[in-house]
Amino acid sequence: MKLVKLLANLGYGSRKETQRLIRSGVVTDDTGAVLSDSDLPPFERIRVRGEELDPPSPMVLMLNKPDGYTCSTEDPGDTIYHLLPPRYAQRNPGLNPIGRLDKDTTGLLLLTDDGKLLHKIIHPKSGCLKVYHVILDRPLEGHEGELFESGTLVLNSETKPLLPAKLEVLGEKEALVTLHEGRYHQVRRMFAAAGNHVLALKRISIGGLHLPDDLDEGEWCELTVDEIASIFTS
Ligand code: URA
């Protein structure tokens, strides 16, 4: 791959723009030697304005999603991409959420530019369970666990029953729900089917990967190889 394309793929601009960037002399190696279009030192030695390059593809990020942000590149309002460096929204291959969260759902959101990994995690057969912490409007009545575990619950405007899901009651109006799949507004619609209403929803784990306590809302980090592997160990 050429330097121009490498930088364009990392979101530094179009090919024309990255060519201009290179010609302006701000792309160097780690000794400060200016690079030209035809140079391509090892990735980790390249600098732009003295800074290391963003991580190469494949990349997996973990974001603690705050309330009020959509998981879309198109939305005119606040999106999860506003919480990341602007370059990250321009990368090729693109950075996509692994299982979207609603605008008002918070918590663990993974993003990746690795399509295979994305499908491996979201496919129900992967066995990567997603756990949600739920705060409800009304007290639980006691029948919800059986309904969710039945494997026969069909959501409004759908025909295929949901896979069995687990309910763990934490309080009168508080519970954990564990899902194998990720249908549109699933947790909210499950509680609506049970005659309740979700006030707050937070995803706390995907497979064996838990949202760490020290990752504040709006903060993100890149996952290590071990953390990625932990997703498949629940
Ligand atoms: N279920 C929902 O209802 N919303 C989400 O964001 C995730 C799961």
Every domain of the chain and the residues it spans: 3-52, 60-124+209-230, 129-206
- Percentage of the chain surpassing pLDDT 90? 95
**How many whole angstroms separate alpha carbon 129 and alpha carbon 26?**
46
DSSP 31-80: T-PBP-TT----GGG-EETTEEPPPPSS-EEEEEEPTT-BS-SS-SS-BG
Q: Considering only CA atoms, which residue is closest to atom 2 of ligand 1?
A: 185
Annotated catalytic residue, options 102, 104, 137, 214: 102
Q: Considering only CA atoms, which residue is closest to atom 4 of ligand 1?
A: 185
Per-residue model confidence (pLDDT) at position 212:
97
The CATH classification number of 60-124+209-230 equals 3.30.70.580
Q: Is the pLDDT of residue 26 over 90?
A: yes
Nearest atom of ligand 1 to the alpha carbon of 188: 3
Q: What are phi and psi of 116, to 5 degrees?
A: -65, -45
**How many whole angstroms separate alpha carbon 199 and alpha carbon 105?**
10
Per-residue model confidence (pLDDT) at position 53:
97
CA of 188 to the centre of ligand 1 (A): 6
Q: What's the chain's average pLDDT?
A: 96
The better pLDDT of the pair 234, 152 is held by 152
**How many whole angstroms separate alpha carbon 133 and alpha carbon 176?**
5
Tokens representing 70 are: 């959509």
Per-residue model confidence (pLDDT) at position 75:
85
CATH architecture of the domain with residue range 3-52: Roll (3.10)
Pairing outcome for strands 198-206 and 105-112:
parallel
Sign of CA dihedral 44, 45, 50, 53: negative
**Can you tell me the mean pLDDT for 12-23?**
97
Task: Verify cis geometry, omega within 30 degrees of 0, for the bond prior to 93.
Answer: yes
Q: Is the pLDDT of residue 85 over 80?
A: yes
Q: Is 188 in the pocket of ligand 1 (CB under 6 A)?
A: yes
Pairing outcome for strands 220-222 and 60-65:
antiparallel
Per-residue model confidence (pLDDT) at position 74:
84
Q: Which of 65, 187, 211 to mutate to test the pocket of ligand 1 (most atoms within 8 A of CB)?
A: 187
Per-residue model confidence (pLDDT) at position 150:
98
Please say if 102 is a catalytic residue.
yes
- CATH fold of 129-206 reads Alpha-Beta Plaits (3.30.70)
The reply to whether 129-206 shares the fold of 60-124+209-230 is yes
In the structure, what pLDDT confidence band is assigned to residue 125 with cuts at 50, 70 and 90? confident
